[in-house]
Chains A and B, each alone.
With several copies, the nearest count.
Chain A
Amino acid sequence: MSDVEAYRERARAWLESVAPRFGRAARAGLSEEEDLALGRAYLKGRFAAGYSGINWPVEYGGQGLSPIEKVAFDSEEMAFGMPTAYFSISLGMPVPIIMRFCEDKAWVRERVHKALTGEEIWCQLFSEPAGGSDLAGLRTRAETDGNGWKINGQKLWTSWAQYSDYGVIVVRTDPTVPKHKGLTYFWVDMKAPGVTVRPIKLAGGDSHVNEVFFDDVKIGDDHRMSPVGGGFAVAMATLMIERYVATDSAGFGPRLDLFVALAEAAEINGRPAIEDGRIRQQIARNYAMRNSLDAITARAMTMMQAGMEPGPEGSLNKLVSVRSRQKLSELAIDLQGATGLHFDAHAPVKQDWGASWINAPTGRIAGGADEMLLNTIAEKILGLPQDHRPDKGVPFNRIPA
């Protein structure tokens, strides 16, 4: 057994030991506030057990291990349905980025500790109403204000902002230069005067994303994390920071086993559904696709363990898996017939076909819409030309709105 396998087994054992207190069953029926509180408690325990900041530097309270152990742990943890969603962005991007770009190391150490133990949560204030896929097109502005800055504008789709203590933000500091060049990167106190968070309810009924309004929010220049006008590069670094994340060939929806079990129990026009070619075809095709995605992930892990750089095909996982999950979830509703109409908006997405279906479109858009992913594959991997972008090189304040 390799070291990683041994690590994985120890992690699983620990997870099993705490699952009764924090796992899916323990969370059933909790209000979001109760669940968040449970999540903070879980993070505290996870930190104590040495499974937090697995690949972060020891000097910041991390474990100093490689991304391999991190991905191994995350993959195992995913199966238990622990209350970690509230902290996923926080620990995924903003906190690693302050470790890298903030100069006040003592302050950073305190933030990292509190983030790892679930006491504080960070959010990432990038997207805007006019933005969508076009990050550099953002309009929220910061103007100089004495020695510091004054922020005005509106961010959108900010995950968990309603529970966040801090955030990292990209704003426009110069509208007279082309759009990529007029941006600067800061951190902000989400409790500061002038910051208003308004949760946005999503199609499935949940509200984990928010609008965040900035109304003359004043910050010192020590909040600045990039050169003035150099914010786009730090924003890109933020988006690239999680190179190696736990993937899920089920598209973060139910496992195929559950579909097979459903098909075993269901019938189509009086005959067992599992014997119907339509169902068999979908099971087989989805199995083949997921089997390949899993093999890609396994190969990436093997390469990382061998000190090699994994191939770009790892980027296929979200595109392929979430899109298929959407259709498979629809099919599962059909297959259940009248029973398929039953719905629990708060059922676990990885267990319930209805919840999986209603939330699948969010998955296809968040973290890079299908179309953006295809563009990235075409341009970055295959070297095809960039799309026509009429705003290229045009001063931001001269792009027609």
Chain B
Amino acid sequence: MSILYDEGQQAIASESRRILEAHVTTEALLPLLETRDAIFEPFWTIAKEQGWTAVALPEAYGGLGLGLVELGLVSHQAGRSLSGAPFLTASFGAARAILDHGDEALKQRWLPVLAAGEAIGAVAFIEGQRVIGGGLAFEDGKLRGTKSAVTGGTRAGVAIVTARDGDEMILAVAELADVERRPIESFDNSRCAADLVFAETPAIELLRGSVAEAAAVHILALQAVVTAHEQTGGAEKLLETARDYALTRRAFGQPIGAFQSVKHRIAEIYALVELARAGAVHAASRAGQDDFIAAAAAARIQATDGYDTAARDCVQIHGGIGVTWEAGLHLHMRRARSLAVEQGNLFFWEDVLVDRLREKAA
């Protein structure tokens, strides 16, 4: 069963859209590609002012007490505007891990500052091709090893990590003040990805063993649903851009939208956007339910394919203009790819989903 947005939710959507459309320009985003660790700073300022950083955290810890649905609405708009610094998703993931698995002291230490946007969180699971890596060593409360391409890693103050203690998977939280950060030169530099090198870094164990693994998947799933909204927003924007271009650009005496090759391609993008949207909203509405992981995986798959395809096809519809730096459609190409990789690629989610379906059938 899906949901209808209530008035408050609709207000979040329209207000976040209004603010972002007023502040974000392609001209401001393009230079971010050519330097590392630069984000569109006004976005983060706005995010803090508007309380977006606090949306899905409990009131007891400085949050607004709303949920995935509302955070998804903001994320959708961040996706449309391409402004989204990665911290909105990453800080949420980190905060949720602390909220769900930390003790009261840890919550008091991190949740209020994360909710206020005063600290930035990261979820550092990935190691090379392992979406949930366990190569980081955890011994006597200390971490040793490297996490690769951690989204938001250049600025995060705290990270949730997976590690290994002997044969056991550990979920732990580590303050990053003394960790070495190696910023990555990426095709989407404002994601602030960095390799994090832990060298006897103190960390607090949250969980151990199979529950740690399950919790890691759950944290990724939460982030995947937020990201699915962001991807849907990006794809939606591309749909509108393609349609507008097809209506105004003329060739051979008519708008190019009158050519079926263009017209049908745009109709197919529409289908992908609506499928992505439906999957994302549905998953957000399933938070806390048994089928949440499956719904999140499905949303993730649909939104990833949708955004990639919309980017590819919107650029193609634009012809030469589509591949210029200035037009900025490549910002969407890049964002589509970075979002596709960040929360675990499609291989990962396909396998997660099929495993869930098998369990359900068994």
Contacts and interface: CB of A to CB of B under 8 A. Distances in A.
| Same assembly | yes
Interface in B38-87: none
Given A291-B298, A299-B4, A285 B325 contact: no
A335 B184 CA distance: 18
A71 to B, nearest CB: 14
Interface in A208-253: none
B193 A156 contact: no
Output the residue of B187, B264, B297, B353 with the most chain A CB within 10 A.
B187
A391 B252 CA distance: 6
B196 to A, nearest CB: 11
A155 to B, nearest CB: 12
Contacts of A276: 347
B253 A334 contact: no
Interface string A365-401: 1100111001101100111111111111010000111
A308 B129 CA distance: 47
Contact of A287 (B250, B253, B298): B298
A299 B358 contact: no
B275 A357 contact: no
B170 to A, nearest CB: 17
B130 A132 contact: no
Interface string A122-155: 0000010010111001000000000000000000
Contacts of A137: 251-252
B137 interface: no
B185 A385 contact: no
A358 interface: yes
Interface residues of A, number: 97
B324 interface: yes
Tell me the interface secondary structure of chain A in the complex.
helix
A287 B353 contact: yes
Given A201-B325, A261-B361, A374-B264, A389 B246 contact: no
Interface string B93-131: 000000000000000000000000000000000111111
Contacts of B270: 377-378, 381-382
A288 B301 contact: yes
Interface in A161-191: none
Contacts of B4: 299, 302-303, 306, 308
Interface stretch (B8-16, B20-28, B171-179, B329-337): B329-337
A48 interface: no
A249 to B, nearest CB: 11
Contacts of A375: 260, 263-264, 267
Interface string A313-331: 1001001100000100010
Interface in A265-303: 266-270, 273-274, 276-278, 280-281, 283-285, 287-289, 291-293, 295-296, 298-299, 302-303
Contacts of B246: 384
B129 A267 contact: yes
A335 B275 contact: no
Contacts of B275: 289, 292-293, 296, 316, 320
Contacts of A336: 129
A333 interface: yes
B229 interface: no
Contacts of B33: 205
B338 A302 contact: no
Contacts of A49: none
B298 A382 contact: no
Contacts of A370: 316
B279 interface: yes
A83 interface: no
Contacts of A201: 324-326
B361 A203 contact: no
A260 B243 CA distance: 38
Given A362-B323, A384-B243, A342 B130 contact: no
B302 interface: yes
Interface string B161-193: 000000000000000000000001111100101
Given A285-B301, A382-B266, A330 B323 contact: no
A287 B299 CA distance: 10
Given A291-B295, A334-B341, A338-B129, A394 B333 contact: no
B259 A371 contact: yes
A389 B252 contact: yes
A278 B267 CA distance: 28
Contact of B324 (A200, A280, A377, A381): A200
Contacts of A269: 130-131, 347-348, 351
Contact of A313 (B130, B249, B278): B278
Contacts of A289: 275, 302
A338 B341 contact: yes
Contacts of B266: 378, 382, 384
A130 B131 CA distance: 46
A366 B321 CA distance: 11
Contact of B354 (A268, A284, A338, A389): A284
A383 B243 contact: yes
A389 to B, nearest CB: 4
Given A302-B4, A361-B312, A293 B243 contact: no
B36 to A, nearest CB: 11
Interface in B287-312: 294-295, 297-299, 301-302, 305, 308, 312
Contacts of A369: 316, 319
Most buried by A among B243, B262, B275: B275
B85 to A, nearest CB: 16
Contact of B187 (A285, A306, A341): A341
Contacts of A266: 129
A274 B129 contact: no
A69 to B, nearest CB: 17
B305 A285 contact: yes
A371 B319 CA distance: 10
Interface string B340-360: 110001111111011001100
Contacts of B2: 295-296, 298-299, 302
Max chain B Cβ within 10 angstroms of own Cβ: one of A295, A340, A362, A401: A295
B148 interface: yes
6 contacts: A278-B347, A288-B353, A291-B282, A295-B282, A388-B258, A390-B253
Interface of B: 1-4, 33-34, 126-131, 148-149, 184-188, 191, 193, 243, 246-247, 249-264, 266-268, 270-271, 274-279, 281-282, 294-295, 297-299, 301-302, 305, 308, 312, 315-316, 319-320, 322-326, 329-330, 333-334, 337-338, 340-341, 345-351, 353-354, 357-358, 361
Which 5 pairs of residues, A with B, have the shortest CB-CB distance? A391-B253, A203-B330, A338-B149, A201-B325, A284-B350
